[in-house]
């Protein structure tokens, strides 16, 4: 949560904090319920409600619940899904604790002022990245903004798709807005080749900011490919972030012939990490990690990148 949200606030600050805490606690309860109850029990409850609604009786609901549970009695949560849910629980608990600390700070937090002691001990909610993603990005905050840019064929789409896959497999739900490619055969080939068919990853071909804004609240991460094509302004990106304080945003931008990013300088000023990709080498500068580099195409062969991802 940004302290900017409290500028010119004319309502009870504690009420704002309590509302956000309640929303996160509801999300936490939902996630822990998915961990606590096997899928067959969840389906059984759903079957009960549906059968009761259409059968117009409680007995019909009971029979529907039993039937649903019996049909899916052997279904279990996969280890991958369980790990993602457990990480989600950790993130939500961390966010709730930090909101409580901010709420308890009272007037100081509301005015954007913290004591040196508070600031030294403050633990910002963050993602615990692993392996080469830690070396490259460090441990970014929950609502980080990444900017990725490069010339055509430099590797920026490949880099972003692998990053999206890592996030979907380990840290939450991802929406990849493929505004330039749309639902094309090229995109389909990338989904197959990079093995992006994760339940936690979705694609859209939206080309209007309003459509993106209306749906991103259902995801933990959003990739916009590209902001130049869809003409999303820095102000709209900030608006989307403020409306969704738990959302991480990755904006993908085209580059000029000189190698600079296209668009307003506000894009770079507002983001937390800038990734420039040249000839298959990604260079990162940001707030969470000192300058770092990563090969997008190991051995400089585009086919090897798939094996590279599997080896990790």
Specify whether the CB–CB gap between 109 and 6 falls below 8 A.
yes
In the structure, what pLDDT confidence band is assigned to residue 269 with cuts at 50, 70 and 90?
confident
Q: 290 and 158, same structural domain?
A: yes
**Which stretch of DSSP H or E encloses residue 274?**
strand 273-278
Last residue of a domain, one of 121, 146, 179: 121
One domain for residues 169 and 292: yes
**Report field, pTM of the whole predicted structure over 0.95:** no
CB 227 within 8 A of CB 195: no
Number of domains in the chain: 2
Q: Is pLDDT larger for residue 71 or for residue 192?
A: 192
In a domain, 158, yes or no: yes
| In-domain check, residue 201 | yes
Question: What is the C-alpha separation between 194 and 197, in angstroms, rounded?
Answer: 9
Is the per-residue pLDDT at 113 higher than 90?
A: no
Q: Are residues 162 and 273 in the same domain?
A: yes
* pLDDT tens per residue, range 126-136: 889 988 999 99
- Angle of helix 39-55 relative to helix 58-71, nearest 10 degrees, comes to 150
What's the pLDDT tens digit per position in 57-100?
Answer: 665 544 544 554 445 455 566 777 778 888 888 888 888 887 78
With cut-offs at 50, 70 and 90, classify the pLDDT of residue 18. Answer: confident
Domain boundary among 102, 121, 140: 121
176: domain CATH number is 3.40.50.300
Tell me: do 147 and 280 sit in the same domain: yes
Alpha carbon distances (Å) from 261 to 149, 207, 209, 272: 6, 20, 20, 16
pLDDT at residue 179 greater than cutoff 60: yes
Length of the chain: 312
Local structure of residue 289 (DSSP, 8 states) = S
**126 falls within a domain:** no
Tell me which of 141 and 118 has the higher pLDDT.
141
For 52, the domain range is 3-121
Tell me, yes or no, whether 34 and 117 share the same domain.
yes
190 closest CA partner among 199, 172, 178: 178
State mean pLDDT over 299-311.
41
Contact yes or no for 227/156 (Cβ under 8 A):
no
Contact between residue 220 and residue 173 where contact means Cβ atoms under 8 Å apart: yes
């Amino acid at each position: 949560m940004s302290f900017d949200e409290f500028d010119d606030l004319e309502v009870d600050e504690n009420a704002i904090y309590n509302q956000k805490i309640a929303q996160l606690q509801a999300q936490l309860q939902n996630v822990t319920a998915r961990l606590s109850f096997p899928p067959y029990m969840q389906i059984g409850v759903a079957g009960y409600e549906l059968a009761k609604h259409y059968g117009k009786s409680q007995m019909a609901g009971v029979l529907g619940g039993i039937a649903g549970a019996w049909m899916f009695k052997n279904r279990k949560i996969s280890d991958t899904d369980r790990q993602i849910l457990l990480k989600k629980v950790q993130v939500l608990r961390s966010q709730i604790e930090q909101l409580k600390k901010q709420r308890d700070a009272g007037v100081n937090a509301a005015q954007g002022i913290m004591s040196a002691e508070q600031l030294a001990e403050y633990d910002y909610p963050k993602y615990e990245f692993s392996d080469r993603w830690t070396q490259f990005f460090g441990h970014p905050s929950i609502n980080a903004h990444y900017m990725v840019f490069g010339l055509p064929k430099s590797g920026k789409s490949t880099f972003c798709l692998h990053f999206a896959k890592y996030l979907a497999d380990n840290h939450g739900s991802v929406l990849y807005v493929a505004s330039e490619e749309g639902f094309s055969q090229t995109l389909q080939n990338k989904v197959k080749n990079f093995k992006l068919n994760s339940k936690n990853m979705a694609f859209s071909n939206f080309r209007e900011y309003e459509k993106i804004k209306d749906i991103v609240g259902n995801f933990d991460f959003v990739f916009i490919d590209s902001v130049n094509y869809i003409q999303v302004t820095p102000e709209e990106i900030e608006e989307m972030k403020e409306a969704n304080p738990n959302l991480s945003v990755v904006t993908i931008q085209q580059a000029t012939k000189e190698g600079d990013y296209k668009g307003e300088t506000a894009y770079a000023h507002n983001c937390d990490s800038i990734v420039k990709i040249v000839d298959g080498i990604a260079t990162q500068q940001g707030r969470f990690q000192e300058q770092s580099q990563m090969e997008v195409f190991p051995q400089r062969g585009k086919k090897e990148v798939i094996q590279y991802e599997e080896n990790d």
